Structures are given as C-alpha cells and as structure tokens.
Structure 1
Amino acid sequence: MSAAFAHTTVLLHETVEGVLTRPDGVYVDGTFGRGGHSRLLLSKLGPAGRLIAIDRDPEAVAAAGGIEDPRFTIRHAAFADMADELAALGVNQVDGVMLDLGVSSPQIDNPGRGFSFRFEGPLDMRMDTTRGESAAEFLARASEREITEVIRGYGEERFAAQIAKALVARREGGAPVSTTAELSELVARSVKTREAGQDPATRTFQALRIHVNAELEELQQGLKSALQLLAPGGHLAVISFHSLEDRIVKTFINTHSKQVFDRRAPFAPEKAMPLKSIARVFPSEGEVRANPRSRSAVLRVAERTEAPC
C-alpha cells in the first residue's frame, strides 16, 4: 500500500479489547477496511479462534488477501448482510461483532474514488465500485426536491435548498457536475456563511456519500443482524464518526437494554433485555494529535445477555 493511501486505525486497542470475550471464540469484523482491527484481534485469538471479515469495497477485500491465516476469512459484502454471509459459512452464532463506520483513509485519499473535496477526481463516492449509482449519476437525474432532502437530511446543511437549486440549474444548462472540484466550487458559491475551520463542501460531500451507500439503512440492518448473531456474553463494539451514525447506535443499544416501566402493570416482573451497555470510549488526546481524523470518533460497547431478542 502506498504511503498516500495508508490508514491509521482509530481506537484500535480499545475496540479489540471491547469486543474480545474469549480467545477461542468466533468474531466478525463487519468493516475490514485495511485490517487494523482484524490483525490485532487475530493476534489475540487462540488456535481455535476464528475471524470472519466483511467489506463491500473490492480494494479492501484485495488488501485482506495479504492475511495468510487459516483462522481468517474475508467476504465481499455489506455488513448489513452479515447473517446471510455467515450462514453460507455454516456459522449462526458469534462471540463478538465490531464495526468501524464511515469512510476509510485510503478511500478518502484516493482521488479516483471521489470521496474528498480536497482532490480532483470523478464524483463517484461508492464504497462498492462494482454496483450501484454514483454520486454524479444521482445528481444527474434527481429532482431539486430530492437533492435538497438528501443534503439537508444527511448533511444537516442549512443551505441545502440553495445548493440543490444551483446543481439543477447547472444540469439544465447542459453541464451537470461530474467531478469533486466542480461540486466543491458550486457549493462554495451557494453557501453564504461558513463554519470556522470547515470547508463549505464538507456537509454536502458527507450527505451524498451517505445517500449513495445507504449507510444509515445499512447500519440499522447491521445492528439487528449483530444482535441476532451474538451469543450470550458476546460483545458488540461500534465506532461512529458523526452524530447521525452515533444517534442510531446509541438508540439501538438503549432500546434493547433499558427497562421500560409499564404503568398498567406496576407489579409485573421486569422484562429481561437482550443487551447491556457497558462502555462509551473517546480517543485520547494523544491519539487525536497523532491522527486528527479520530477527533470525532466514539466507541460504544454492549454485551449480549441471556434474554431473547
């Protein structure tokens, strides 16, 4: 891997320590990326341990080919489909699931992937480049209302309507945006006020990436699959990088771990809940200094209980 596309794993030790419950267990890394979490977890597994990694990025799957360990398996898929992927391997229960959400440094730093406004490149943004609609293709056919809803909903961008209007006007003028630089410049002209220290295109690029990859829908389904797969005592460890992701993870854990008092039956026995929240971890000051991309990360860890789903 070239230095330009190198990846520094966020909350590396904290995540592996959070997910590992027994050395000879079966574990899932639903977002292999460049394998930082997977490699450390493998180093801690016993001879009978097993790690099944999943990633929908073909480049990540290719990188996983460098791991020559009989305890390791890589699958080209979305982690939302982990239950089906594991079933194909004859696995229906695991001791831990870890998810490192969002986009990886190699994806961001490769101009050809179109994830970053910092580099000139095609406006693609697909994590799985073998299927689906690119960001440019979405902007070339979506209505002004659709574009506004995506940028406002997934980017929390105050100027979503102005950006969408400018995108459609350019498209109707015969020059739809097709590169990262074109989109970045258009957004800069449409956004009237700027947040200190943040490029005006940040929220728009985030929104389009989330939409193109259906990231929030995948996360919701992936969390449900993880809960179904986890054995009692197994751990779920999830790293989020922005409020939309973290809100889903937090709500999911809270919903499946907190008791709800039924006023109609005040003396009824407490209902056993399938999850128990056990940790919330942020990067240390040292990690943020060494890797500024970690500054917004939050790791949440939960334990599967004996209660049914």
Structure 2
Amino acid sequence: MEYGKLRNFDLNLLVVLGAVLEHQSVSAAADELSMSQSSASHALTRLRRLLGDELFVKTRNRMMPTPKALELAGPINEILQSAGNILLSTASFQPELAERTLHLALGDVGEIMLMPTLLEFVRNTAPSCKIQTVMSLAHEAEQELLDGKLDLYVGFIASPSLDLMCQKLYDDDMVVICATDYPYEGVMTIADYAAADHVIHQIRSLAKTRVDHMLDSRGLRRNSRIITPNASATPFIVSNDKTLIALYPRSLATFMKKVHDIKILELDFDTGTIEVLQYWHRRYNNDPLVSWLRKSMFGMFNDATKNRGG
C-alpha cells in the first residue's frame, strides 16, 4: 500500500465522484450529500486536477462521463460499498451463521452448574460454534482477554485494571458439606469447624484463603486431611467418608446435593460474600460475538442461581 501517495488524496472526493456518476448531475449529487452545489463543483475540479481528466462534459440535460470516469465507476462503487459495509455496519452477531470457538474460563462452579445448559443453548442457537473452557487464574485472565485467547472470564479479580469491563452475575457464600451420616447436626460453630478433619480445595493463586486468615486471628487452624485442586472431586470424597467436611460455595453445594449423598451445614460465623462476575476486555466491548455471549451468560447464570434451591 502506497500510503504516502494516498495521503495527498482526499478520499471524500470519491464520494462526490460516485454521486455525480450515479446522478450525472452536480446539483443532484450535492443534494444527496447535503452539501452546496459550489462545494460539489469545487470537489469535482480537484478531482479533475488530481486525475488529469475532464471526467464529465456538461450537456444540455446532464453531465456526460468521459471514458476515464466510466473506467473508474466500477472500482469506485466497490470501494464505497466496502467502506460502507465496514465503517457503517450495525449488523448484530448472527449466532446461527457463526462458526467460532467460544473460549471461556468458567471456574469449577461455572463448569459444573452451567455446562449442560450452555451446551444446549449453543447447540440450539449457534450450532456451528464450539465451546472450549480454559483454566485461567485471576492474575492471568486480563492478558488472555486482551490477546483474544479468552472471550469471557467468570470469577473474581481483586484489582482489575481500567481496561477490564465486568458485570456481576450473582453473590455466593460458603457452607459446609459432609456425608449424610456425619455426626453433626444444626449450625456448626467455629470451634467445631476448626476441630474437624477437612478436605481443602487448594486455590493456586492464594497461599491462604479468607477463612484461614480469620481462623489465624482467633488462634485456630483447620486440620487438613486432604488437599485437592479439584473442587468437583470434593463431594465424592466427603460422601464416602463420614469423618470429613469441606467448605464449599453454597450454589455448588446445592447443585451437588442433587447428585451426591451429602448434607449441607450452616456456619455460625461469617465467611464473607463471594462476588461472581464476568469479565471481558475493553478492546472487545463492542465485538458482536462477545456482546451476544455475555448477555447470554448473564441470563443463564441468573436462571441457574434463581433455581438452585435444594
């Protein structure tokens, strides 16, 4: 591309040329372009000078194009059509026509709770799209969203930059899950909680969780029997061992209770509210696919959390 040569050529002149070619009248072209006839005539004069051709010869009823102008008519129409399609298009994303891979970081809760619903939704609305879930830590997510390796990240990022856009999906809190025959009923005290044997979900990005810091402040410590990075394995472990408990998000505990032989115990101490948000990069804020995807995800998470009653 010879940008240096084009720099001195006002591409708006092509709009005038296209309009005069269509109407074969400077005044009609000026009316369509909402400009004065003198401005349109001046633009035509500049074009004649730049292209070294008369372009149009005035007759009694119209402006007759020269062979050079007729030669330019087809390419100029293509240029203006392409520019209009690219710069002025307001077409929304058409999922039924898309052939894309949707890259999502949903976390354990999102994958377990939402994947069947998400799969059915994509199959029905965007049948040629595929879903790829990605393991992404909060501190890695921004770069992956910027690079387009991720379309959406679901979770919580403590200190997001101004380049990250977000939307709250729901609030969650923590409960205890254990086997149905675990020898404890009622609301669990902090002392009993600390004294129990625990399955602990290890979060790679955190050396200590909020609960660990709270227990430390009271001189208490959890007795960890099993540490696992796989939150989905925890209900299976505790349901088969009546000596173990695990701290678990309420939304996921309620869901898992339907498929595992576990019970849920409330706590008499506050573990804090967990905000679950979806994030996307500002670079893709107006991207039709990302816009469609985040609206769809919001609706699905909203429905899933509304209907999570046990």
TM-score by length of 1: 0.31
TM-score by length of 2: 0.31
Going by fraction, where is strand more abundant, 1 or 2?
2
